[in-house]
Amino acid sequence: VLAVLAALGLPGERQPGLTGVWCAGRKVAAVGIGCRRWITRHGLAMNVNCSLQGFDAIVPCGLRDHAVGRLLDWRPGLTCAHVEPLLLAAVQRQFNLELLPTRLWDSGGRCAGVR
């Protein structure tokens, strides 16, 4: 995620003692991992161009007094279609993988196979 922000010319950073990725003091991405019944799950959520209105009704990630942001606030017109190839390329570089496009469901969502 930090590599994606860097590719967009944005100052991505970590906050000591907090999870996620931050930009200009606002949390723009959450990263998580879980384990239940010997099954691990991991993932990330990056606020690209979503509405932030729903965050007013919750305490995001249990962090009071910390603002949530979206990349669109710094890069007008930015869409997930712009960010997706940057994220996939960063994952390939970071983990030395070749991601293979594949369609796993009919809803139009995509998932990448791994080689």
Domain boundaries, the chain: 2-114
What the block records as the tokens of 49 is 């161009």
Does the pTM surpass 0.85? The reply is: no
Mind spelling out the 3-state secondary structure of 46-70?
A: ECCCCCCHHHHHCCHHHCCCCCECC
Q: Which positions are catalytic?
A: 61
Q: Residues 39-91: pLDDT tens digits?
A: 988 888 899 988 888 776 666 666 677 788 899 999 999 999 899 999 999 99
Instruction: Mention every residue, 6+ apart, whose C-beta is less than 8 A from residue 94.
Output: 3
CATH topology of domain 2-114: BirA Bifunctional Protein; domain 2 (3.30.930)
Instruction: Name the CA radius of gyration of the chain, rounded.
Output: 15
CB atoms within 10 A of CB 114: 12
